[in-house]
A and B are shown apart, each in its own frame.
Chain A
Amino acid sequence: MSASLSVSGLTKRFGAKIAIEDLSFSVASGEIVALLGPNGAGKSTTFACLAGLARPNAGTIRFDGRQLESDRGRTVAVIPETPDVYPLLTVWEHLVFVARLCRLDPSWEARGDALLARFGMTGERDTVGNALSKGMRQKTLIAATVLAGTPVLLLDEPMIGLDPRGQRELREMLAELRAAGTALMISTHQLESAEALSDRIIMLNHGRVVASGTVEELRADHAGSLEDIFLDLTGT
């Protein structure tokens, strides 16, 4: 696996407050990395910097060796925790919107159909965003973002709001995206999900990396379950 997304010395301050400091890590193509940390650890800020929504005070973000600039919308996509869909567009029109905005080739329609079917949303194809439940909105956003096919995908608490079936579908889809070579980062508080899904874990506390590695590597260095390690390292 070649390192596709590499972050070096990433620092972001909001006034006098340091949100993240000197973060360095990489996410390879075909890898899922879980970003863990207590509230306020800097997970969302890290995602915002990676997605180009926040300009870091220092550090570099590269994809396949190329420094990412502000026009990174076709390289990095982020799915936030709160699914903000367009209230008056139907589910299918969200896919149309992304497909046309990103100028996808005509085969997108078949892929879009498959995505909806996979999330059990074929019956909701013509339902407007306004009328969707939170879980359905989440699925719509995930489907639309996956359709765009960015090589790097960031998911902030993706399981929240999804029903058990949706969670399973998402897990399987993430595994498929990993197999297809997408670099995936997941920010979550659900340690079981992180352990089950991810290849590696990066643990943040007060904006700094306090641990990094596979679950086995973390266990080798610290005794106990992932939860014990988390509580031990973050002091929460």
Chain B
Amino acid sequence: MTTLGALFYADLRSFVNQLREIRRSPARALVWLLFAALVAALIGLRIFNAAHGAGLRGHLIGNRAILDIIASLTLAAFGVVLAFGDRYAGLFAHPAEARFIIDSPAEPFVATLYVQTRQIVRGGARQAIGLLYIALVYLPATLPAAALVRDLVLLCVALAFTAAVPLARQLLPPRLIPLAVAAGAACIVAGLLVIARDAAETLFAAAPGARAFARLLPPWQPGNILAGGAREGDTAIAVLLLATAALFAYVAHAARDTYPELYELSMKRFARTERLRSRPFGWAARAPQSAVRAVRAESTVRGTPAGVAIFIWRAWTEYRRTNSARSTSIETAVVLFGGYAVALLVRTTDPEMLIAFASPLVNIVFILAVMRSASLATELRRPLFWLSDATLFERLCALGVAQGWRLIGWCLLAGIGLAAGQAGLPVVVAALVIGPCTVLLAGAIGYASYALLPNDIDQRGPLLFVRLLVGYVLIVPPIAAGVVFGLFAHTVTAALIVAGATTLLEAAVLAGFAASRLDRMSIVLR
């Protein structure tokens, strides 16, 4: 058997064995079936809506702006990757695989091509789940089924292309890096300008100078590619596929002489993935920038809290080790100013328009928070976690605060900014109370879903949707409690506090559920 044959055999057997594992467990099989049914139902509903012209949103900002936002954000994301790269871009999935391929007689060009393709297919399958949801919800309901499918494929291919950039960029000759930075920056600016122009034409149309600003910018609408006919869509897909293939070929060609570099990059990525898996809200709790930077550090003793609150101290210490005072100051300033700017918007913009524009953004943030609040696996495997007479429930609650503290901090800072900008008491209370409570709820949903099916594949597959569904369902009781209380008390602020308290109660119930499930499970210390 050739090296590639062996690799393909191993991948195929892994896949088949995973399917068998799922089939053996009724609970897992049920979740996967429900997931498939849910996706089918969403697609069916979407096609039905398209056929009957039933728009979920005949929204104020219009379909064109929605499509422009999706396309512009995709372009800007590509720009970020192109300009800044990803120091953790890697090729091999595992150290053993790397050694196997490097030591094998396989032609590096072919082996690298195979591994890259597999990586993109695997990563794409995971991304596609999130993308599918966003596309089904946010693409205009009037889009015909064929166009919807085409758009989904187009977005997947765009993601694949974007995902292929970082590794190729790592192998670029240094003299070409400034070019990549410039091209990436141009993409970011173009994407953001399109969003700003559309916002000026819709959201801030009444603001002085808004229309003039919009007229200054070219009338380019990247969203047209999503709303366009078969010809434009198919052409875009073909171009992106060709570009992706070209990037693959470039990396594969370079691999002839760069196995050691590719190995080193892959190991860095592997170590980082291991670290991120241990942290819910991984995107808000970044991994250390390098092991070298933090080889030695001044140990902290004073002011350390006792009991399970030590988890929060640990999270703070880890944060300090990976973030400079300057980056923390910048982050604080950005969030504070963001809150202040939103306050100005709240005061000057038509509330209906603001809600129409802000609600998809809030929704996306909520989706990301719920979907990324992931596994407890690494935490539970650490033996020191278990050393305490605190109950598992207490430990999970403390861990929830520890893992979400940065986002909670953002909410509190934004609340201060909102207050400074005189956004009104209800808006400030929403940031100060609802925000942190929702962060804790998102974390608790992650814990509960892990306790339900503590399998990494399930967590990244159907349980993403389950978490999201649970998240949406759990929004209802706080809203209901807030509305009922508000009707009686005639105060929005108090209603928001009641809603926050209900959210917190839900988080506690979920943490209790997770603790009780984990208590009955087997935890494997490695």
Q: Which residues of chain A have a CB within 8 Å of any CB of chain B?
A: 12, 14-15, 44-45, 48, 51-55, 70-71, 73-74, 77-82, 84-94, 96-98, 100-103, 109, 125-128, 130-131, 141, 144-145, 148, 150, 156
- In angstroms, Cα B525 to Cα A77, docked, is 12
Residues 167-192 of B contacting A (Cβ, < 8 Å): none
Q: Is B307 an interface residue (CB 8 A)?
A: yes
Q: Please, what's the 1-or-0 string for B279-314, where 1 marks a CB less than 8 Å from any CB in chain A?
A: 000000000100100111111110011111010011
B299 and A92 contacting across the interface, CB-CB below 8 Å? yes
Count how many pairs of residues, one from A and one from B, have CB atoms less than 8 Å apart in the complex: 144
B388 and A88 contacting across the interface, CB-CB below 8 Å? no
Q: Which of A78, A88, A156 has the most CB of B within 10 A?
A: A88
Q: Which residues of A contact B383 (CB under 8 A)?
A: 77-80, 84, 141, 145
- In angstroms, Cα B523 to Cα A71, docked, is 14
A84 and B526 contacting across the interface, CB-CB below 8 Å? yes
Q: How many whole Å from B388's CB to the nearest CB in chain A?
A: 5
Grouping DSSP codes into helix (H, G, I), strand (E, B) and loop, the B interface class, with mixed when no group exceeds half, is loop
B297 and A128 contacting across the interface, CB-CB below 8 Å? yes
- A48, A74, A81: the one contacting B388 at CB < 8 Å is A74
A88 and B387 contacting across the interface, CB-CB below 8 Å? no
B526 and A130 contacting across the interface, CB-CB below 8 Å? no
Q: Is B118 an interface residue (CB 8 A)?
A: no
Q: How many whole Å from B451's CB to the nearest CB in chain A?
A: 13
Q: Which residues of B contact A100 (CB under 8 A)?
A: 304-307, 310, 313
**B-side interface size class:** 35 or more
- A81, A102, A127: the one contacting B526 at CB < 8 Å is A81
Q: Is B275 an interface residue (CB 8 A)?
A: yes
Given A71-B391, A101-B390, A156-B525, 15 extra CB contacts under 8 A = A15-B24, A51-B525, A55-B522, A70-B391, A78-B383, A84-B378, A88-B288, A88-B317, A88-B318, A100-B310, A126-B297, A128-B295, A128-B296, A145-B384, A148-B387
Instruction: Name the residue of chain B whose CB is nearest to the CB of A49.
Output: B522
A90 and B299 contacting across the interface, CB-CB below 8 Å? yes
Q: How many whole Å from A199's CB to the nearest CB in chain B?
A: 24
Q: How many whole Å from A152's CB to the nearest CB in chain B?
A: 12
Q: Which residues of B contact A125 (CB under 8 A)?
A: 299
- In angstroms, Cα B170 to Cα A220, docked, is 66
B384 and A141 contacting across the interface, CB-CB below 8 Å? yes
- B304, B388, B389, B524: the one contacting A96 at CB < 8 Å is B304
Residues 349-394 of B contacting A (Cβ, < 8 Å): 378, 381-384, 386-392
- In angstroms, Cα B288 to Cα A68, docked, is 39
- In angstroms, Cα B317 to Cα A227, docked, is 48
Q: How many whole Å from B327's CB to the nearest CB in chain A?
A: 16
